[in-house]
Amino acid sequence: MKHLAFFASTLALLAVPSYAVALEQNGKAQILVAQKSVNPGKRQQASGASASGQKRIPSSLSSVSGAPDLTPDEKVNVSVYQKCYKAVVNISPLASAEDVYYMGHDESEGRTGIGSGVVINPDGYVVTNNHVVQDAAAVRVTFYDGVSMPARVVGIDPSNDIAVVKLEPKTPRTFSYVEFGDSSKMQVGRRVFAIGDPFGLDHTLTAGIVSSLNRTIKAYQSGRLIKGVIQTDAAINPGNSGGPLLDVQGRLVGLNTAIATSPVLGAALGPTGAQSAGIGFAIPSNTIKSIVPQLIRNGRIIRPEIGIAMVIQKTQGLQVFKLDPAGPAAKAGLQGARVISYEVMPGMVYRGIDPSMADIITGVDNIPVHTADDLLSYIEKKEPNQVVNLSILRGRQNLKIPVKLTVTRTD
């Protein structure tokens, strides 16, 4: 069975061993997140100067510059890279506000970056994966020439594994950026490119094709399903997370997020052994375009809230296990599992959960629901203050209960 691996960490060439978190095992899809690796040696000066005083240029660029007699395919490869590489950055979380102050611009010794990102406008907004920034309030961003600067995390959407950070240079400047493409125009067989920092090898270009469309993967932190995902065979490895998937015009058509790996390969290489098997996944650019404005404006996605905290999948539908007591579903009269307690013997009280009287949701607005994602995906298409009608099985009774949605309080 193929496994999904989400890349939160570049693996530095001289890094100490990392670790991984296995979310699902025993024959189910396993999601691994390679956590931060630390380079014990000094990193490049933040000014981008090398030991000789010259600015560092990615080796991947110097290898193609000035090459004579390029084939048509090579011309496309070079053109895409030269158009976009300056807008692709390395991202590493900062632990605290003090890190931003002390490690902002002039750091010469520090942590190895754990992911990639792409600048999407000249004002310095950067899109990356939520699992790259993790829970950091600020990050350090490193450019192609070694120049580093702090950036503030302005918004996250764990449900789609997307985050937006804002670059904060000491003096105002405009940034090179990558334009959005239209991911709805992607077709199987179309050529695509990935740029990122796999295994700490900065600004590496790989090429491939769109292998399939409309794949579904599970977001690392939220566990929600991300739909409409682009599958590609362009090599994607740890450190590519949050980097761009580009079309032949150098436009952003996806955000590289995960790969499928073999369990045998993963076991052989250890917990940090996830690497490209030719099956990579990218969040489509049209999804990103619809989310980014809200993240910049609100810091989160304002979604409608139904107030159901937990359901259990049953043959008949979704059994309501836990409700938000102040949420719209509870106010509308839905019943969840009951907390029961009774005295087993003097001085000993048993407390437990009795789900026998909990409602079972069989549909919403006359549309059957079989999984939690079925229900949540439908609710998220609605607006706050709209009313949805839940089809409920309560004992042997079939009921219709209208629920007025509110605004989600947390993502």
157 is catalytic: no
User: What CA dihedral angle connects 264, 268, 274 and 278, to 10 degrees?
Assistant: -50
Q: What b/e sequence results for 367-391 when a residue is b if at least 16 CB atoms lie within 10 Å of its CB, and e otherwise?
A: eebeebebbbebbeebeeeeebebb
The DSSP letter of residue 198 is G
CA-CA-CA-CA torsion sign (305, 306, 312, 313): negative
Q: Nearest 5°: CA angle at 142, between 96 and 191?
A: 125
Number of alpha helices (DSSP H) and beta strands (DSSP E) in the chain: 8, 24
131 is catalytic: yes
The DSSP letter of residue 323 is E
Query: Of 99, 157, 161, 374, which residue is the catalytic one?
Result: 161
CA distance 189 to 66: 30
- Per DSSP, helices labelled H in 157-284 are 263-269
Distance of CA 380 to the CA centre of its chain: 18
Query: Of 241, 276, 285, 391, which residue is the catalytic one?
Result: 241
Tokens of 294: 């809200």
Query: Of 37, 116, 131, 183, which residue is the catalytic one?
Result: 131
CA distance 166 to 153: 6
Q: Is 271 exposed, middle or buried (0-12, 13-18, 19+ CB in 10 A)?
A: middle
CA distance 245 to 88: 11
Cα 224 to Cα 4, 110, 229, 373, distances in angstroms: 14, 34, 13, 7
203 is catalytic: no
Q: Catalytic residues, which ones?
A: 131, 161, 241
